[in-house]
Amino acid sequence: MKSFAFLCLFLSFTGVACSAADPITNKWDCHDVCKRYADCFNSDYDVDACKDRCESAASNSDDKQNKLDDCHDCIGDHDSCVDDISHCSTSCGTFIAP
């Protein structure tokens, strides 16, 4: 994320702007979030459909992009599914809805 911020800073000096919504980062973050849900709670969960919904939501809203970043950081901080539920449901719930 630091390299993205640096790139945005550099591009701002050249007249090109960046928004918080980054479709390339979203693709990986959304896949991780949706896959974690499938691994922990529902092995039949449609990860691809979740990823598509997640990418669309995060790419169209800086607020949702921030929630995606928080969710991805949160699930990366925990080793168990129980910890993910108790700590990450607020930030991740937006993206996991069926």
- Token pair listed for 12: 């701002």
Residue 82: per-residue pLDDT: 85
The structure tokens listed for 85 are 């539920």
Determine if residue 3 is left, alpha or beta; phi over 0 gives left, psi from -120 to 50 gives alpha, anything else beta.
alpha
| pLDDT tens digit sequence for 21-68 | 455 556 678 999 999 999 988 999 999 999 999 988 888 888 888 898
Reported pTM = 0.69
- Listed by start position, the domains of the chain span 19-96
What CA–CA distances, in Å, run from 41 to 35, 46, 82? 10, 12, 10
Look at residue 45 in the predicted model and tell me its pLDDT: 94
